[in-house]
Structure 1
Amino acid sequence: MITAELFAELNVILPSDRIIEEKNNHPLGNSGLVKVLPQTEEEIAAILQFANEHGKKVFVEGSGTKRGFGGLIESADILLSLSNYTGIVEHVVGDMTLTVKAGTKFKELQEYLAQYNQKISLDPYCPTSATMGGIVAANDSGPKRLGYGSSRDVVIGLRIVYPDGKVIRSGGRVVKNVAGYDMNKVFIGSMGTLGVISEVTVKLRPLPKYESLILLSFPEGKMDEIRRFATKLLDSTMEPVTLELLSPTLSEKLVGRSCNTIAIGLEDVETSVRYQEKFIQSLQLAHTESKVLTAQNAQAFWNQFYSFTPISPTDSSTSTQTSLKIGVINMDVTTVIKESHLLSDTHNLKVEAHGGLGHGLCQVNLIGAKEDIVSAIQQTRESVTKLGGYTVVKHLPFALRQEIDTWGQKPSHFFLLDGIKSKVDPNRVLNPKRFVGGI
């Protein structure tokens, strides 16, 4: 039972029906003794001010899709949920900008914007459930990062509630802002450790007139051929929005072919897309196989693709799942996919992996016994380090996060990150031990 004193103090800020006792600790951790559901920025500020003044720790979540991402504390005093803090603040159609509350779900925004022939040019995992605040806080992006960029490219303004309850604004609501430090980038990807994102302003782009997806399979699986093909395409004037290499297991599930497959996404006017399709087919090697999906079929492919991202614990007591984010020089993606595929035999794991040949970011999903998962993460991290890359554990049960460091070694600039945290949140109120180095 939560203390009557804590409930009574929070009840001054929120009505009792928006203060919920958390009865069981979640297997992914990042829980709270009590969950609070603010509906206004003023309520968010009041909760944080209370926590800061009374020595309480606060975890922040939107819809919970990032709950297994980092965190060495099983439960804070307060779990601040933004699931009730939703809605569009301002949409300037002519300027192609949108300001939304942080708890608003990405898919709902895309459906709304489609009425105006516009969209947010972000490509997050779990697009159905993910919220704008969570996407920005984790700097989440998928295969279309090649053509879209990331949150740091799309976000032009934020409203932040500091741990002491003060509200600040970084950036603005127009694309061209005054010169100076781009403070947005400090908060993007900081995992909610510097402040609670209350509003997000993004620049929009028109919906493509036409889109298609070329699935190019390499039955012989020769990585040198894949490298040569990708290099030729990237060196050309073509502009694919994705150039994603799928592992054989993931390809079999999505494409029906158990071999390495490249998913090449194209978006533009129809004549441009058709031209790019023909050019890509002219680069195709004789023994490869290709298939072109258009419009709804291409979208159905991506919907299925994102459904494989783990966001909750497995039901089986003998099986554990994890998701790794790996960053390497773009063509080293072939090495990552090859070595991750071998884990299925060496560690008796189910492995589904993919990586961007244009941007170098990979995701490797593993399912199996926890001992094998731990060993596979360690082996992967060692091999990726040799390539000059990094490995971040995006999803892992709380118990295993005590054994495996989510973030790996502290970066050389860690002192800067820790200095910012100490300045902004000296009492370590927000998302403690959730970010790199235990920040």
Structure 2
Amino acid sequence: MDGIKGKLSHGQIRSSLARITGENHLLPGDSQHCEYRINASLRALPTSERQVVDILRFADEHRLSVAPQGGGTKDAYGQSVKAVDLILSMKGMSGVLEHSAGDLMVTVLAGTTFRELQETLKPAGQFLPLDAAWDDQSTIGGIVNAGTSGPLRAGYGSVRDFLIASRIVYPNGEVIRTGAKVVKNVAGYDMNKLFIGSMGTLGLHTEFTFKIRPIPAGRSLLVIGNARVDTLRMLQNALLDSQLEPCVFEWLNPTAAQSLEVDTQGPVVLIGFADVWSSVDEQARQVGQLCRDLGAVILAELRGAEESEAVLSKIRSILPNANLVEDSQTIVSMKLVGKLTDVQAIYEAAETRAVQHGVSLRFSGGAYTGIARATVEGAGGEATNVHGRLTAWIRDMQSEMRQQGIRTVVDFAPGTIRRQIAIWDEATADQKIMRGIKRTIDPNETLNPGRIIGGL
């Protein structure tokens, strides 16, 4: 094991960890190389914060590298992690600790799946408006540390808007609490935001407290197509200039739209509303009038939470799941972030480059967020040839987007490709600050060494 540096044998590490977690909670890891998974020979499943503290303190003292893991759906995110000695799985720490329905707050353990949390809140008519992909597997800890969001971000915001407090274990075993369990808290620097999107490189979350929202009475999702790209762009601009408040506005390319089972040529847009039914119906009526004026067609209207959610779940699954991808497949997903008006340009560039390099593209772009996701998959030919075509697509997209001032992140790819490219297209101005924070909190590079921008 490269990360051990000869200080402890595998047997010594295993016996020491077994004394902390118990033999039943120390399992073999994925010791064989897997392109989409984090590889390590041991996997610990703590069941308490005390065990997390002891594991991290032991690892830090003996210079062992640790990869925190939730449901494993995001193992292929970020740079390829340097040698990892131990996977620290949070699956054994799940459940809702406190739900204050009157205060619209919930405290939950990090290993809780997103679906479990939503099902717990639903009887009280409440929900957490984060729409993570693969909600039956994605854990709250993984969602926060990856900073992921989906189509509902247009109307509700992101993790940063709902996380108000958390408990974090530093690599040296110190436990800190960030934020406060009150909806309004303006005292000092908001430490919660420091850890969002940190990919488990600074500390390991054990619990979170979120603001939550009442479930809206009415939901409607319009599927609009059979129009030129320019027509859909005019529809987007008209809505941006209007008083309408959609909670969803997504562009889909034809391949992504196939999953909706609608008859259309070219791209489609999804426009969704969530409010009392009178407001939902009036806003949908106004969109219908705009479509008639511009020459677009409403292909379907999905009314109610169940039908809307079924479609949005398909859109979220454009983001691949490391648990479901085989090594024989070659899949890459890119996140692109620009201005609201950049979505059309991102869409057209992604389509053009996909045709050029002979790869299959599924695209979803948020017209009210400026955030797009493009997932490409190679098919046919030798693996090296497929990897080459996908790598060329990535580099061409990075170059073209850079010229337009659009940021890119390759947020899912096999290890072979991640080792050949820059996951983050270019260095950021605050990278020096980030490096200083990492060195202060994790001087021994215990947690996920090298996984995020700048090799931190």
TM-score of the pair, normalised by structure 1: 0.96
Alignment: residue pair count: 436
Find the counterpart in structure 1 of residue 271 from structure 2.
Answer: 264
Kindly indicate whether residue 72 of structure 2 is the aligned counterpart of residue 64 of structure 1: yes
Tell me if the contact between 1:333 and 1:355 (Cα under 8 Å) persists in the aligned partners: yes
Q: Map 1:3-402 onto structure 2 (within 5 A).
A: 3-22=10-29, 23-73=31-81, 75-217=83-225, 219-223=226-230, 225-256=231-262, 257-284=264-291, 285-290=293-298, 291-295=300-304, 296-312=306-322, 314-315=325-326, 317=328, 319-368=329-378, 369-402=386-419
SS where residue 224 of structure 2 aligns?
strand
Distance 2:311 2:282 in 1: 22
Deviation of 1:308 (Å)? 3.5
Tell me if the contact between 1:252 and 1:258 (Cα under 8 Å) persists in the aligned partners: no
Tell me if the contact between 2:235 and 2:294 (Cα under 8 Å) persists in the aligned partners: no
SS where residue 32 of structure 1 aligns?
coil
Tell me if the contact between 1:45 and 1:166 (Cα under 8 Å) persists in the aligned partners: yes
Distance 1:25 1:315 in 2: 12
Deviation of 1:252 (Å)? 2.7
Distance 2:354 2:221 in 1: 28
Distance 2:50 2:71 in 1: 20
1:144-200 residue CA offsets vs partner (Å, 9 max, x unmatched): 111110111110011110010000000011112252111111011111111001111
SS where residue 216 of structure 2 aligns?
coil
Q: Give the stretch that moved more between structures: 286-295 or 112-121.
A: 286-295
Distance 1:10 1:18 in 2: 9
SS where residue 76 of structure 1 aligns?
coil
Distance 1:438 1:93 in 2: 42
1:330-387 residue CA offsets vs partner (Å, 9 max, x unmatched): 1111011111112332111110101011110000010001111000000111111112
The residue type equivalent to 2:106 in the other structure is L
The residue type equivalent to 1:427 in the other structure is N
Q: Give the stretch that moved more between structures: 332-341 or 73-82.
A: 73-82
Tell me if the contact between 2:315 and 2:364 (Cα under 8 Å) persists in the aligned partners: no
SS where residue 405 of structure 1 aligns?
coil
Tell me if the contact between 1:35 and 1:79 (Cα under 8 Å) persists in the aligned partners: yes
Q: Give the stretch that moved more between structures: 246-255 or 166-175.
A: 246-255
1:405-436 residue CA offsets vs partner (Å, 9 max, x unmatched): 21221101100111111111111110101111
Deviation of 1:397 (Å)? 0.8
Find the counterpart in structure 1 of residue 383 from structure 2.
Answer: none
Tell me if the contact between 2:338 and 2:405 (Cα under 8 Å) persists in the aligned partners: yes
Gaps of 5+ in 1: none
The partner residue of 2:439 within 405, 416, 422 is 422
Aligned identity (percent) is 35
Find the counterpart in structure 2 of residue 431 from structure 1.
Answer: 448
Cα RMSD after superposing both structures: 1.5
SS where residue 100 of structure 1 aligns?
strand
The residue type equivalent to 2:244 in the other structure is M
